[in-house]
Amino acid sequence: MSVRLTCCVLVAAALLSNAGRCVASSIVNGSFETGDFTGWGTATGSGTITDPSTGIYFGGASDGTHALQMNDDNRLPSLQLGQTVATQAGQLYRLSFDYGRFDPNRDPVAWESQIRVEVVGLGGGAILLSDTFFDNRQDLGEKGHPLTSSQFLHAERDFFTSDSSVLVLFTDLSRGTYGADTMLDNVELSSVPEPATWASLAIGAFCVGMTKVVRRVTSRKQPAANQAA
């Protein structure tokens, strides 16, 4: 392999390994698989971490076996869940999660699950992200039949921060949750590569591809060269 191609491969490998760091999640216990609120410094109101051992009122999980079940057991929607996360100033981030409405009693009343999501910059207290997500689907799940992972809704939002840490907050604003619970699972926070990074990755991938092409051509020419010799 030529020196130029070797350098190309090394650059590509370095860039691709850097891509792995770009998408690393920094939320602790975002899938609630510890079975408790580990990592979530703020957790007040009605909600609990459930799993299949909960029985016929287990609402399901989109990832793993545990999930957060808000306003469980006909309790009022009041839960607020928060986690402080270290961030890199000047970086774009993507917050993603799965949510859903578990309707164990198939109540005909059109209840609605609502989750408000906020991200607050802890440097100056600026609201970096604020949005509310709704689920008014009826007849999803029933006693002994939790939501399947495909029945969860997926949401993601991007935000930019100039702070070294942010507070990620989820608040249950569901209306009329008697007989139905609001589910949350698979919370992740990832840095989003900037366009320049993607361009570098594309160049790296191109170099790797060209290296393979050159290798193939060289290997094809080799027998002819040997014969000529």
Residue numbers at the binding site for Ca ion (CB under 5 A): 31-32, 61, 63-64, 66-67, 71, 177, 181, 185
Q: Output 118 or 181, the one with its CB closest to Ca ion.
A: 181
CB of 149 to Ca ion, least distance (A): 10
Six-digit token string for 7: 């350098």
Q: Output 123 or 176, the one with its CB closest to Ca ion.
A: 176
Report phi then psi at 108, rounded to 5: -70, -15
Q: Output 118 or 188, the one with its CB closest to Ca ion.
A: 188
Residues listed for the chain: 229
Element (H, E) at 22: helix 3-22
Contact 40, 83 (CB under 8 A): yes
Q: Output 71 or 161, the one with its CB closest to Ca ion.
A: 71
CB of 64 to Ca ion, least distance (A): 4
Q: Output 174 or 200, the one with its CB closest to Ca ion.
A: 174
Six-digit token string for 144: 């002994």
3-state class of 78 per DSSP? coil
CB of 89 to Ca ion, least distance (A): 30
CB of 71 to Ca ion, least distance (A): 4
Contact 65, 87 (CB under 8 A): no
CB of 41 to Ca ion, least distance (A): 19
Helix residue ranges, H only, the chain: 3-22, 195-228
What single-letter amino acid sits at 178?
Y
Rounded to whole angstroms, how far apart are CA atoms 28 and 93?
A: 16
Contact 92, 127 (CB under 8 A): no
CB of 105 to Ca ion, least distance (A): 10
What single-letter amino acid sits at 160?
F
Q: Output 128 or 184, the one with its CB closest to Ca ion.
A: 184
Report phi then psi at 22, rounded to 5: -65, -30
* Residue 139 burial (CB count, 10 A): 9
